[in-house]
Amino acid sequence: MTFLEKVQLIERVDQLIRMKATGSAEDLSDRIGVSRSTVYELIDCMRAMGAEIEYCRHRQSFYYLEEKILAIGFVNKKKIRGGTDIFQSFSECPGFSDKTSIYLT
């Protein structure tokens, strides 16, 4: 799986979590066309990026404990104002190298 494919899967999982429409890990794997173990790798990677993700057995869906924004891409540094630059290492995420960083807002 390429870096871009993994990012696209993370974006799709994020969208489904926001809609509270992931279903079980097995359902989610069918929805996005990957194995159940890959679903858990994606969830673990999202957690390493700062997402607080839990699973509700009653709703049968993953959900965020706290609303955050997934921001992946390049931004002109002059457009970033206030706060501090926060960069997270993806060394804990399967398939990402130590040299890969993404700005999280």
Find out whether 49 and 68 touch, Cβ atoms under 8 Å.
no
- Which pLDDT does position 103 carry in this prediction? 46
- Which pLDDT does position 1 carry in this prediction? 84
Q: Which domains does the chain have, with CATH numbers?
A: 3-103 (1.10.10.10)
CA 34 to chain centre: 15
| Angle formed at CA 82 by CA 76 and CA 86, multiple of 5 degrees | 70
pTM: 0.72
- Which pLDDT does position 83 carry in this prediction? 53
Q: What is the mean pLDDT of each run of 10 residues along the chain (105 residues)?
A: 92 95 96 97 94 95 92 74 52 54 46
